[in-house]
Amino acid sequence: MSATATLESPAEFFAEYAAQPPGRKLVVDRAASTISGVKLMGIESKNRRRFTAQAMADAFRLSENAKINVNHNSRDLSAPREYADRLGFVLSRTLEPDGIYGTVKINPKHPLAERLFWEAENAPHLCGFSPVYAPGKTSRSSDGWLIVETVAKVTSIDLVADPATANSLAEGSGTASSAASGLAPVAPTVPTKPAAAPVVTPPAKPLAEAKVTAAKPATIPTKPAKPVDHRSFVERVTGAPVKRHATEEAAEAASKSFADSITAPSHPWLKRPTPPKKTERELREEQRALAEQREDESRKATADRLTRRPSLFEQIRR
């Protein structure tokens, strides 16, 4: 595959969505706020651009401590980025045959930091890194691909949803090398679980063999009722001994009759005086007094909150 022309690239910036190997595990360290093993840049892109060894060496040198932003500037890749877009920076990197890998330092206070950590651990195919760079010398190959021979500047390595030189945060190791050599990529094999053994249920026993036992009703032991001593009750109420009768049975009968009479609902001892009915004026005065009491309590609670609240000067000083 020979190059037909060599030209100096104009002063413009390209964005290459870089892709990464499924067999390469990412390491997320939340304590240090880093993600290791991410692919920052590949040797080929879906935009039909290839990078020479010299271009990859230039990109490796220029990507030291490169800034990481969220998404690209859709209007102008060379324009300054907003402060809210800054996500972190490249902490370290290594140059390997299929691209540049490294460790990125993420701002743990950024709103997307925890989401990025989760996707790196559970779904690295949802996003990837894309370097924004200015090519130096370029050429066009016979198959129409743009060959980037040198890289003049790397402005940032941005986090994007659809990477092109990296399929994801963890791209397959054979993606770029197989494309460059002309070999068809090998589809990953998904291990299948062995079929579960069939469950054999024993045959049910016939009804004739089944033993049916009737449930016995539960018996709750009951204590015998204690006889009521009406004579003692009358003596406690009246404070005097019961008058002597001819027999004990007669004395008990008299005591029972007296006890029944004083425990009846109509007995004057059990009658409670009913409170007099309040007039409408008294009810209005009670409601007004209750409303004033609640208003006083509300004012006191508001005053307590204001006294406990720090002043504006104290809040700024904190």
My answer on whether 174 and 253 are in the same domain is no
Name the residue among 11, 131, 141, 1 with its Cα closest to residue 72: 131
My answer on whether 253 and 169 are in the same domain is no
Residue range of the domain that includes 246: 230-262
User: What string of DSSP letters covers 8-57?
Assistant: EPPS--EE--B---TTS--EEETTTTEEEEEEEEESEETTTEEE-HHHHH
Per-residue pLDDT at 1 exceeds 70: no
- Is residue 69 in some structural domain? yes
Q: What is the rounded average pLDDT of the residues 96-122?
A: 92
Confidence of residue 124 (pLDDT cuts 50, 70, 90): confident
My answer on whether 142 and 113 are in the same domain is yes
My answer on whether 78 and 164 are in the same domain is yes
- Is residue 74 in some structural domain? yes
The reported pLDDT for the residue numbered 316 is 72
Q: What is the rounded average pLDDT of the residues 298-304?
A: 85
CA gap 269, 264 in Å, rounded: 9
My answer on whether 157 and 246 are in the same domain is no
My answer on whether 109 and 153 are in the same domain is yes
My answer on whether 132 and 238 are in the same domain is no
My answer on whether 240 and 139 are in the same domain is no
- Is residue 313 in some structural domain? yes
Q: Which of 225-234, 263-272, 283-292, 301-310 has the lowest mean pLDDT?
A: 263-272
Q: What integer best gives the mean pLDDT of the chain?
A: 75
- Is residue 209 in some structural domain? no
The reported pTM is 0.49
My answer on whether 158 and 257 are in the same domain is no
Name the residue among 91, 100, 108, 109 with its Cα closest to residue 129: 100
Number of domains in the chain: 3
Q: Using the CB atoms, write b or e for 288-315: b if 16+ within 10 Å.
A: eeeeeeeeeeeeeeeeeeeeeeeeeeee
- Is residue 307 in some structural domain? yes
Contact call for residues 129 and 171 (beta carbons, < 8 A): no
Q: Which of 164-178, 187-201, 269-283 has the lowest mean pLDDT?
A: 164-178
- For tokens 């998404």, the residue is 71
- Is residue 269 in some structural domain? no
**Residue where a domain stops, chosen among 181, 201, 221:** 181
The percentage of residues in the chain with a pLDDT greater than 90, rounded to a whole number, is: 31
Q: What is the token pair recorded at 309?
A: 């609240």
Q: What is the rounded average pLDDT of the residues 43-55?
A: 89
Which amino acid would we find at residue 260? D
- Is residue 119 in some structural domain? yes
Confidence of residue 304 (pLDDT cuts 50, 70, 90): confident
CA gap 280, 266 in Å, rounded: 32
Per-residue pLDDT at 58 exceeds 60: yes
My answer on whether 59 and 127 are in the same domain is yes
Q: What is the rounded average pLDDT of the residues 257-282?
A: 69
Per-residue pLDDT at 12 exceeds 70: no
The reported pLDDT for the residue numbered 55 is 92
